[in-house]
Amino acid sequence: MNRTAMALTMLALTMSVQANQATNDTILVRRSDLPPGLVEKLEEQQSLALMAKRIEAYGKWVGVGKEVGTAVNDSLSAITTQADNFAKTGVGKFTLFLVAWKVLGKDFVGVIIGVPLLVVWTMLFTVFWRRLYCVRKVLERIDGKQKFYKVIEPQITGEDRELVTGFLFFGYLVAVVWTIAGLIV
């Protein structure tokens, strides 16, 4: 009995579903059967409807673009204002110094140390080169209008001369490389 009651209850609760046929007002006609003016008018209406859909879609995208632009502008304005306020504090100045040092530190050290090092080594190289390799004439005395010169031979000879020359050349090479690396890298 229970099964029969349950089957009857289920049958009573089910609904009858019938396929509804929608009445369609569509009529198919060949293009050649229509008058020429009507065909052009229908094509114009279709193109206007298509254009209206496109304009509506473009309008939505333009609206989204404007909203994104406004949001980005407001965000960057807020960031700029807060960064400016932060930069005015002592901590902000120190932070900006650290950022600048991180970005420009190597270049700064290369230029500040490299250029004076190059100048000093150039002067040392020139002075010692003249003393080690060049025969020099030095003014000894002046008698009236006559000048007397003394010829001075290079002071160091042999292995000592080569050692000093190697040291000078190595130092000058280090100074040149340091300066160029500081300027380029």
- For 146-167, write each residue's pLDDT tens digit: 999 998 887 777 777 778 778 8
Q: What is the pLDDT of residue 22?
A: 56
On whether both 132 and 185 belong to a single domain, the answer is: yes
Count of the separate structural domains present in the chain: 2
Same domain, 70 and 117: no
Greater confidence (155 vs 82) lies with: 82
pLDDT of residue 18: 55
Say whether both 113 and 169 belong to one domain: yes
Are 122 and 78 in the same domain?
no
Is residue 26 assigned to a domain?
no
Q: For residue 21, what pLDDT is reported?
A: 56
83 and 125, same domain (yes or no): no
Per-residue confidence (pLDDT) for residue 16, from 0 to 100: 56
20 Cβ neighbours under 8 A, 6+ residues apart: none
Is residue 66 domain-shared with residue 123, that is, in the same domain?
A: no
Whether residue 19 lies inside any domain: the answer is no
**How does pLDDT run across 28-41, given as a tens digit for each residue?**
778 777 787 887 88
Q: Please, which pLDDT band fits residue 185 given cuts at 50, 70 and 90?
A: low
56-71 per-position pLDDT tens digit: 888 888 888 888 888 8
Same structural domain, 141 and 114? yes
- pLDDT, greater one: 74 or 6: 74
The residue segments making up the domain with residue 64 are 35-88
pLDDT tens-digit profile of 136-147? 888 888 998 899
Would the pTM of this model clear 0.75, i.e. be above it? no
Tell me what the pLDDT averaged over the chain comes to: 80
Q: Would you state the pLDDT for residue 24? A: 66
pLDDT tier for residue 13 given thresholds of 50, 70 and 90:
low
Q: Does residue 8 lie in a domain region?
A: no
Give residue 67's pLDDT.
Answer: 87
